[in-house]
Chains A and B, each alone.
Chain A
């Protein structure tokens, strides 16, 4: 799911501390924020946009395409259902520690309504030169610069590091898609890879994965069919088995979801797998020839 500068964005939970802080930064960068929600502050203005009680109200009065949720874990299900039923085209769910059964519920509803969900537990998405949604340092020019490399990541901090290395190597990004670190997420590694492969102006894709689950293996099946080069880094090779490494999704049970399994599947698909994120520039140069 790639967010464009023309997309009208609703910020749910806009009046909170983080909601306010990041709304101001999104506005300054060029994200088209049209409204916010807070059930107790409907009818007021916040960050120069109208505040509504619900996404349904915001859709009727202002209209929006994408909802960005700054909402506490146990309230996300209700907020997400509100946005989906209002007819949102996309949702960016930043919150970590949402009960998994709640996530399954709104992911199923979104699928049925044709809405795309980024996250949960994502830092958001950036389309350099256009807009960003979430809490990524899009405005830092040493990390995000308009260019031709699509980047997707399960982790915000690690995705940021890879973007930094891409820019240091003299490239820029066509788009960054943070898919989130939870075990069940609306946009998978494969979904994001397809979106970046078909996104105009993208010459190569950097995939940032981690141990746990089988999303990288599934993405490898698609990578096989691509003509654009893919470079990958998989975090967690040095992590012990059976422990949750911060991200709920990053857990290795038995031999499933291991570093070795992911690396082997990606390499068999012709993907260049990095030993360290610092090598990304050299790998892109080797793949692109410039």
Chain B
């Protein structure tokens, strides 16, 4: 789960990392009032995405009137599909140099990775391409964490001058933020050294591990939930993972891998999947609400139901599907492929109650659905 800048910075500040003074505004007048308190400010669009500056979502203002005008222009703007609802008004900082610091989950080393660069201010992809020699990586053993001594070693010899100690301290504290709040990624870019020698987090990106939200419930309330369509939101409320796609062939399968593959095979045979919807794992008993949800999508013209049971029993899933079909009496053509745990019983139920025989393979079922949708 992403945190917008205004929600991420208090996590840093709470563990002793300096951030600019500021306030959140939802109207131009509120922006002006905050600016009146702070002097010269920066007006920053709050959306859970990067590249706000390039989109015109970050502006400097010398006076409260200027801040009001910028806020007026920025609130309501669309940035990468997100409508700006609020702006963060922050005091302007006298920047001497810009650094970069991050801690993230690294699949390659199977542990946390600390990243530090003396070339901050640009995005990390650009940094890796243009200044790779200034990017320093340090995999961490999560059982011992990143100590102050480790952080000091990491920034040693990088010509940070008098700021070196404070930068090391910030890195160690950043690691504490990462560990305390189950971050998947926490990034300060830029981390600045001011002309008067302070080290301040000018921006912050924080992504919380979705699997840890249950144990971070207090902090997690400040995060921005994933932007969902109406169907996606009702699926989530029912405990199902549903993703809207643009096609017209509905897909229902068990397990993430099999569901993705069913979409792939539909496309391989020339069709376009309408959705991702899986009922694997613990949710295999949810076939009935899942199918009801799918059928409420007016775009779909045909449906593939592809079950391959391991943990998920195909007889239980098929029972749910039959109940939904009996209740809703859908008119669109439905094609089945059913294999694995419980398949004999599942196939018998389909024959007895719906008069339907599953096709031999998921390719046959997908192909039939593609042909039916084209009619």
Residue numbers of A with Cβ under 8 A of B are 73-74, 96-101, 104-105, 107-109, 111, 123, 135-137, 140, 142-143, 153-161, 164-165, 181, 183-184, 208, 210-211, 213-215, 233, 235-240, 243-250, 254, 275-278
5 A-B pairs within 8 Å (CB atoms) are namely: A96-B281, A154-B257, A155-B255, A181-B256, A278-B362
Select from chain B the residue with minimum beta-carbon distance to A161: B308
Complex alpha-carbon distance, A164 and B308, angstroms: 9
Among B108, B241, B260, B363, chain A packs the most CB atoms within 10 A around the CB of B260
- The answer to whether A157 and B312 have CB atoms under 8 Å apart is yes
- The answer to whether A239 and B263 have CB atoms under 8 Å apart is yes
- The answer to whether B311 and A158 have CB atoms under 8 Å apart is no
Select from chain A the residue with minimum beta-carbon distance to B215: A74
Complex alpha-carbon distance, A140 and B308, angstroms: 12
- The answer to whether A99 and B257 have CB atoms under 8 Å apart is no
Could you mark each residue 196-214 of chain B with 1 if its beta carbon is under 8 Å from any beta carbon of chain A, else 0?
A: 0000000000000111101
Contacts of B310 in A (CB 8 A): 123, 135-137, 156-157, 159-160
Shortest Cβ gap from A169 to chain B (Å): 12
Contacts of B308 in A (CB 8 A): 157-158, 160-161, 164
- The answer to whether B143 and A105 have CB atoms under 8 Å apart is yes
Contacts of A165 in B (CB 8 A): 361
Stretch at the interface among B19-27, B31-39, B272-280: B272-280
Question: A104 and B259 in contact (CB under 8 A), knowing A99-B212, A243-B243, A246-B278?
Answer: no
- The answer to whether A158 and B261 have CB atoms under 8 Å apart is yes
- The answer to whether B256 and A238 have CB atoms under 8 Å apart is no
Query: B65 at the A/B interface (Cβ < 8 Å)?
Result: no
Question: A160 and B340 in contact (CB under 8 A), knowing A238-B266, A238-B273, A243-B243?
Answer: yes
Of A97, A105, A111, A137, which one neighbours B211 at CB under 8 angstroms? Answer: A97
Of B141, B215, B259, which one neighbours A246 at CB under 8 angstroms? Answer: B259
Given contacts A235-B261, A246-B260, A277-B265, 12 further A-B contacts (CB under 8 A): A101-B212, A109-B143, A111-B110, A157-B258, A210-B257, A236-B264, A237-B264, A237-B267, A238-B266, A243-B243, A243-B276, A246-B255
Shortest Cβ gap from A33 to chain B (Å): 18
Shortest Cβ gap from B300 to chain A (Å): 16
Complex alpha-carbon distance, A74 and B182, angstroms: 13
Shortest Cβ gap from A225 to chain B (Å): 20
Complex alpha-carbon distance, A136 and B313, angstroms: 11
- The answer to whether A213 and B107 have CB atoms under 8 Å apart is yes
Of B112, B278, B280, which one neighbours A104 at CB under 8 angstroms? Answer: B112
- The answer to whether B245 and A240 have CB atoms under 8 Å apart is yes
Contacts of B215 in A (CB 8 A): 74, 99
Count the A-B residue pairs with Cβ separation under 8 angstroms: how many?
A: 178
Contacts of A108 in B (CB 8 A): 110-111, 141-143
Shortest Cβ gap from B81 to chain A (Å): 11
Contacts of A277 in B (CB 8 A): 261, 265, 362
Select from chain B the residue with minimum beta-carbon distance to A81: B143
- The answer to whether A246 and B261 have CB atoms under 8 Å apart is no
Select from chain A the residue with minimum beta-carbon distance to B209: A100
Of A98, A104, A235, A276, which one neighbours B111 at CB under 8 angstroms? Answer: A104
Question: A184 and B260 in contact (CB under 8 A), knowing A99-B209, A100-B209?
Answer: no
Contacts of B241 in A (CB 8 A): 246
- The answer to whether B255 and A156 have CB atoms under 8 Å apart is yes
Complex alpha-carbon distance, A210 and B50, angstroms: 27
Question: What are the 3 A-B residue pairs with the smallest beta carbon separation, nearest first?
Answer: A155-B257, A157-B255, A246-B256
Shortest Cβ gap from B92 to chain A (Å): 32
Complex alpha-carbon distance, A94 and B356, angstroms: 34
Contacts of A239 in B (CB 8 A): 260, 263, 276
Complex alpha-carbon distance, A239 and B245, angstroms: 9
- The answer to whether A235 and B257 have CB atoms under 8 Å apart is yes
Shortest Cβ gap from A76 to chain B (Å): 11
Complex alpha-carbon distance, A136 and B142, angstroms: 32
Residues 303-350 (chain B) with a chain A CB within 8 angstroms: 308-312, 339-341
Complex alpha-carbon distance, A237 and B142, angstroms: 34
Question: A246 and B264 in contact (CB under 8 A), knowing A235-B257, A278-B361?
Answer: no
Query: B152 at the A/B interface (Cβ < 8 Å)?
Result: no
Contacts of A100 in B (CB 8 A): 105, 182, 184, 209, 211-212
Contacts of B112 in A (CB 8 A): 101, 104
Of A154, A157, A164, A275, which one neighbours B253 at CB under 8 angstroms? Answer: A157
Of B210, B257, B339, B341, which one neighbours A208 at CB under 8 angstroms? Answer: B257
Complex alpha-carbon distance, A215 and B266, angstroms: 25
Contacts of B263 in A (CB 8 A): 238-239
